[in-house]
């Protein structure tokens, strides 16, 4: 964060300072376990606990200033505010305004691919200037401001991942940061249960570009009709990307994948650039095109940007992460997030790479969450897709995903190839007893299904 006097910080957040008017030079934390000497600790009530319970821990760790919703007895200087969340967001808006002149702000949203695209942009832009992007997938009303607060006067690129649980969430974050470049990747069924349907998801994602000024740029997925719809509903200049030829934009063909990665040819007009990603899955080509479009807009040469992408070993921990344990099996651990779209993409990747290497394919599937009334229907679709793709073995874990097993079992002649177990421990025992060297295993679920550790265990990660 930029340095601030405690009195100035109190003014910015609309609070009252108690104690010394210290100069704050550290970062901002909402988790007392992450506080380092000189940091600001923002105490907020949460869904599970109340940050005010951990003020003493933060002070002991060296917090220079506490922002809190009620007076505290500690000797540390503190600013009392009506709302810790509102204070956090106001402080983030102040920092963004202070650094905007020398910094380009990029916002990314979409039902799938935000974190991968963010990581791709980090890999590209950090070669050209100090780049700040979210830790993991910090993208909500707390996480996005926390990313903004990591920016300093030397930050040249600030990349924000903007997610939403309801309509209005992204709009509120846009008001804080107002991106210079905004990317919309895809509108799908991820979180559709929370929104109440894909149409409302579309409106929520549209908030990223809806209020942009005319001198901003909206980079939109030409292949997704729900994203293309946004082009007529923004004042920003529009750039397209996709797998079909698009005027003036980047597109790709010759897309292929193997167990060693993904290849494609990136094109613009008469220009063409080969690209070989070590990241597994043809669907990541779209994420790469989005990142390359931002880089191109910011003046980075396409060959240089592609070279940065080709240096990436993985998209993110537990996202299409390739593991090669001593057992001789190949594990694709993609158990950090799951939606109907990302589930289908991962299964198609499994089917394709296993066929290309003449290997047996094994899908280990856990529940997809936040699908609302379509929960059973979408899991049923997954089970039938497994059969249609010819995946050799299916293991379904947990009651939330049982419809996957039921659908696969009901398909003709597939009953002997699918197994349902209730727990990850049961799945691990089954896999260890039945996997053979050379098998390609996909472990795919939402994070709350708890399969990431199962994927690591099968993949030989301690």
Tokens matching residue 39: 């940091």
Instruction: Please give the helix or strand (H or E) that residue 80 lies within, else none.
Output: strand 78-80
113 is in an annotated binding site: yes
Residue with tokens 């009506």: 82
Half-sphere exposure of 204 (CA within 13 A, CB side): 27
342 is in an annotated binding site: no
Compute the radius of gyration of the chain from its Cα atoms: 23
110 is in an annotated binding site: yes
Q: Are strands 131-132 and 157-161 parallel, antiparallel or unpaired?
A: parallel
Beta carbons within 10 angstroms of residue 112's beta carbon: 24
What DSSP letter does each residue of 9-64 carry, written as one string? HHHHHT-EEES--PEE-S-EESSGGG--TT-EEE--B-SS-BGGGGHHHHHHTT-S
Q: How far, rounded to the nearest angstrom, does the alpha carbon of residue 370 sit from its chain's CA centroid? A: 16
d(CA 115, CA 118): 5
413 is in an annotated binding site: no
118 is in an annotated binding site: no
119 is in an annotated binding site: no
Tokens matching residue 390: 């010819």
452 is in an annotated binding site: no
Residues in the annotated binding site for ATP: 110-116
Residues in the annotated binding site: 110-116
């Amino acid at each position: 964060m930029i340095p601030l006097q405690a009195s100035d910080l109190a003014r910015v957040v609309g609070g009252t300072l108690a104690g010394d008017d210290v100069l704050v030079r550290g970062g901002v934390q909402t988790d007392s376990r992450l506080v380092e000497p000189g940091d600001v600790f923002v105490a907020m009530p949460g869904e599970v606990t109340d940050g005010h319970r951990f003020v003493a821990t933060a002070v002991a760790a060296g917090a220079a200033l506490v922002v809190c919703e009620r007076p505290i007895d500690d000797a540390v200087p503190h600013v009392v505010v009506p709302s810790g969340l509102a204070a956090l967001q106001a402080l983030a808006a102040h920092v963004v305004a202070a650094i905007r002149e020398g910094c380009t702000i990029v916002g990314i949203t979409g039902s799938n691919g935000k974190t991968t695209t963010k990581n791709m942009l980090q890999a590209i832009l950090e070669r050209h200037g100090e780049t700040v992007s979210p830790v993991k997938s910090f993208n909500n009303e707390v996480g996005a401001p926390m990313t903004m607060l990591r920016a300093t006067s030397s930050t040249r690129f600030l990349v924000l991942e903007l997610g939403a649980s309801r309509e209005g969430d992204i709009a509120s974050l846009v008001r804080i940061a107002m991106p210079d470049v905004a990317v919309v990747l895809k509108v799908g069924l991820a979180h559709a249960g929370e929104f109440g349907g894909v149409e409302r998801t579309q409106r929520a994602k549209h908030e990223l570009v809806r209020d942009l000024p005319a001198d901003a740029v909206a980079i939109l997925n030409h292949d997704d009709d729900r994203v293309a719809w946004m082009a007529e509903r923004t004042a920003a200049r529009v750039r397209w990307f996709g797998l079909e030829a698009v005027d003036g934009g980047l597109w790709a063909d010759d897309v292929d994948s193997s167990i060693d990665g993904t290849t494609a040819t990136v094109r613009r007009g008469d220009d063409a650039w080969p690209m070989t990603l070590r990241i597994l899955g043809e669907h990541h080509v779209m994420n790469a095109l989005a990142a390359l479009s931002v880089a191109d807009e910011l003046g980075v040469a396409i060959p240089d940007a592609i070279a940065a992408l080709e240096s990436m070993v993985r998209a993110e921990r537990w996202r299409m992460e390739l593991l090669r344990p001593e057992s001789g099996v190949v594990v694709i651990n993609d158990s950090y997030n799951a939606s109907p779209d990302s589930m289908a993409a991962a299964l198609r990747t499994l089917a394709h790479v296993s066929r290309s290497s003449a290997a047996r394919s094994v899908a280990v599937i856990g529940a997809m969450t936040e699908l609302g009334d379509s929960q059973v229907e979408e899991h049923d679709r997954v089970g039938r897709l497994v059969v249609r793709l010819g995946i050799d073995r299916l293991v379904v874990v947990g009651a939330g995903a049982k419809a996957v097993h039921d659908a696969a079992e009901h398909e003709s002649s597939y009953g002997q190839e699918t197994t349902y177990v209730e727990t990850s421990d049961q799945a691990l025992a089954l896999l260890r007893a039945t996997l053979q060297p050379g098998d390609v295993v996909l472990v795919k679920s939402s994070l709350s299904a708890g399969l990431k550790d199962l994927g690591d265990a099968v993949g030989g990660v301690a």
